[in-house]
Amino acid sequence: MTAPQAPHQTRTFQSVLVTGGAGFIGSHVVRTLLRNHEGIRIVNLDVLTYAGNLSNLRDVEGDARHTFVKGDIQDGALLAGLFEEHAFDAVVHLAAESHVDRSIENPLAFLETNILGTATLLNAAKTSWTARGCMETSLFYHISTDEVYGSLGEDGLFTETTPYDPRSPYSASKASSDHVVRAYHHTYGMPVVISNCSNNYGSHQFPEKLIPLMIRNIVEGRELPIYGEGVNVRDWLWVEDHAAAIDVILNRGWVGDTYNVGGLNEWRNIDLVHKLIELVDAKLGREHGQSKSLIRFVKDRAGHDMRYAIDASHLEARLGWKPSVTFEEGLAGTVDWYLENQDWLEEVTSGEYQKYYEAHYTNRG
Ligand code: NAD
Ligand code: TYD
């Protein structure tokens, strides 16, 4: 593969296809790009699986620079039409099946969406950019995960040169899609960039992932299921810092480069759950540690990776990105958001959120 090259100048993309923009990270990315780039036009393509929630984007609904399209990244004809109509000069690809537990239950859906979907998208971009003669000035940006690197022991951090060793169907599907993206760069000269990020937390995260699930259960006095002994370690990054990193990488990332994104915030699951109990109980005026009795150690996840931890120094050195908040600040703000947005949680839990698209987006001229 050719060595990554610095862009001659900060790029300013005019017409950007964001995939998965109704999901957790994608909705923050859409908001960040609209805030930071006045002249941008975004088409947000999302098929609205259980994880897609258009009410996540309520605040940008009136923004004419943002167009939502309900559709599947595996639909080549739809993609060809969108490329033709909007002449995208960049793709920011986040659409994916994203939950490890679901990938253990139903691996095929992950292989289809994450591998075939990414390949279909790459193909549409290649066809369009070749036909328009703008391959060199375009960019395909794939948002990936640190889970492609496998599982760490007690020491060490994942760097961009850590060999891939995915161990769940989810991480295997993301690793495969990273490889396909690099293959398009190497074989067809497509300008690509990939970032591999650690676990995100923050507002609008579907409450199947550890932090929002635990907050919801603590509030409602439900059991708190901890897999195994709770000693697995995850490295947590505030989602808005991830969105800021994505913006920086989109505009200044070196073509062909890979960036690890993380905040040096390692927590054992059990310690994190204790921290959440402390924060939520205090906010709700409960006795200190009252909700500890809700903790239940349950059967471990199959193939549960022990530890993830990211070295993000390459991103900082090359592009100057650093997290903007400490974990304490980010977590406290996140707890506040879920407590103040119980209606969001209720709509997600009841399934009501799935009616948002029909109620707000159909019947529009
Ligand atoms: P999410 O599950 O919240 O959102 C995924 C979005 O993709 C949803 O809106 C869903 O409707 C959409 N989608 C799924 N299949 C689709 C398809 N076939 N066509 C079009 N849209 C489809 O996920 P997330 O946590 O926001 O993650 C976004 C991306 O970031 C994923 O690629 C994930 O692998 C990656 N990532 C996530 C984390 C994390 O901690 N959540 C960390 C690193 C990387
Ligand atoms: P999760 O949020 O599913 O993210 P990932 O598997 O991508 O890291 O899980 C984070 C950690 O929390 C992981 O080690 C599994 C653990 N976990 C539990 O102990 N209980 C739970 O109910 C969930 C959802 C996760």
What is the CATH number for 142? Answer: 3.40.50.720
Cβ atoms within 10 Å, residue 361: 14
Centre of ligand 2 from the C-alpha of residue 314, in Å: 27
Centre of ligand 1 from the C-alpha of residue 23, in Å: 6
Residue nearest to atom 32 of ligand 1 (CA): 94
Query: Is the minimum distance from the CB of 56 to ligand 2 under 6 angstroms?
Result: no
What's the confidence (pLDDT) of residue 45? 98
**216 domain residue, yes or no:** no
Number of structural domains in the chain: 1
Centre of ligand 2 from the C-alpha of residue 114, in Å: 20
Contact 17, 45 (CB under 8 A): yes
What's the confidence (pLDDT) of residue 195? 98
Which ligand is closest to the CA of 68, given by its number? 1
**297 domain residue, yes or no:** no
Give exposure, 37-46, as e/b (b: 16+ Cβ within 10 Å).
beebbbbbbb
Which ligand is closest to the CA of 120, given by its number? 1
What's the confidence (pLDDT) of residue 150? 98
What's the confidence (pLDDT) of residue 3? 84
CA dist 220 and 333 (Å) reads: 19
CA dist 303 and 213 (Å) reads: 21
**215 domain residue, yes or no:** no
Closest atom, ligand 2, to C-alpha of 101: 3
CA dist 44 and 67 (Å) reads: 6
Residue nearest to atom 10 of ligand 2 (CA): 210
> What single DSSP character describes residue 310?
B
Residue nearest to atom 4 of ligand 1 (CA): 23
| CA pseudo-torsion sign 92, 203, 221, 52 | negative
pLDDT digit string (tens) for the chain, length 365 residues: 568 888 766 788 999 999 999 999 999 999 999 999 999 999 999 999 999 999 999 999 999 999 999 999 999 999 999 999 999 999 999 999 999 999 999 999 999 999 999 999 999 999 999 999 999 999 999 999 999 999 999 999 999 999 999 999 999 999 999 999 999 999 999 999 999 999 999 999 999 999 999 999 999 999 999 999 999 999 999 999 999 999 999 999 999 999 999 999 999 999 999 999 999 999 999 999 999 999 999 999 999 999 999 999 999 999 999 999 999 999 999 999 999 999 999 999 999 999 999 888 875 54
Strand-pairing partners, residue 260, are 196
**121 domain residue, yes or no:** yes
Structure-token pair, residue 304: 């549960």
What's the confidence (pLDDT) of residue 55? 94
Full residue range of the structural domain in which residue 36 is found: 15-201+235-265+305-326
Centre of ligand 2 from the C-alpha of residue 235, in Å: 12
Query: Is the minimum distance from the CB of 23 to ligand 1 under 6 angstroms?
Result: yes
> What single DSSP character describes residue 293?
G
Centre of ligand 2 from the C-alpha of residue 276, in Å: 14
Residues known to be catalytic = 146-147, 170
Centre of ligand 1 from the C-alpha of residue 347, in Å: 19
Give exposure, 132-162, as e/b (b: 16+ Cβ within 10 Å).
eeebeebbbbbbbbbbbbbbbeeeebbebeb
Query: Is the minimum distance from the CB of 234 to ligand 2 under 6 angstroms?
Result: yes
Which ligand is closest to the CA of 199, given by its number? 1
Query: Is the minimum distance from the CB of 236 to ligand 1 under 6 angstroms?
Result: no
Give the closest residue to 261 by CA, choosing from 285, 290, 240, 230.
Answer: 240
Task: Tell me the residue type at 102.
Answer: R
CA dist 244 and 261 (Å) reads: 11
**173 domain residue, yes or no:** yes
CA dist 334 and 336 (Å) reads: 5
CA dist 32 and 251 (Å) reads: 13
**77 domain residue, yes or no:** yes
Contact 97, 20 (CB under 8 A): no
Cβ atoms within 10 Å, residue 329: 11
What's the confidence (pLDDT) of residue 11? 81
Query: Is the minimum distance from the CB of 174 to ligand 1 under 6 angstroms?
Result: yes
CA dist 17 and 39 (Å) reads: 14
Give the closest residue to 21 by CA, choosing from 78, 74, 83, 70.
Answer: 70
**197 domain residue, yes or no:** yes
Query: Is the minimum distance from the CB of 225 to ligand 2 under 6 angstroms?
Result: yes
Which ligand is closest to the CA of 296, given by its number? 2
Closest atom, ligand 1, to C-alpha of 144: 44
Structure-token pair, residue 99: 């939950």
What's the confidence (pLDDT) of residue 8? 64
**230 domain residue, yes or no:** no
Half-sphere exposure of 50 (CA within 13 A, CB side): 12
CA dist 279 and 273 (Å) reads: 10
Mutate to test the pocket of ligand 2, among 227, 231, 233 (most ligand atoms within 8 A of CB): 227
Structure-token pair, residue 314: 């390459």
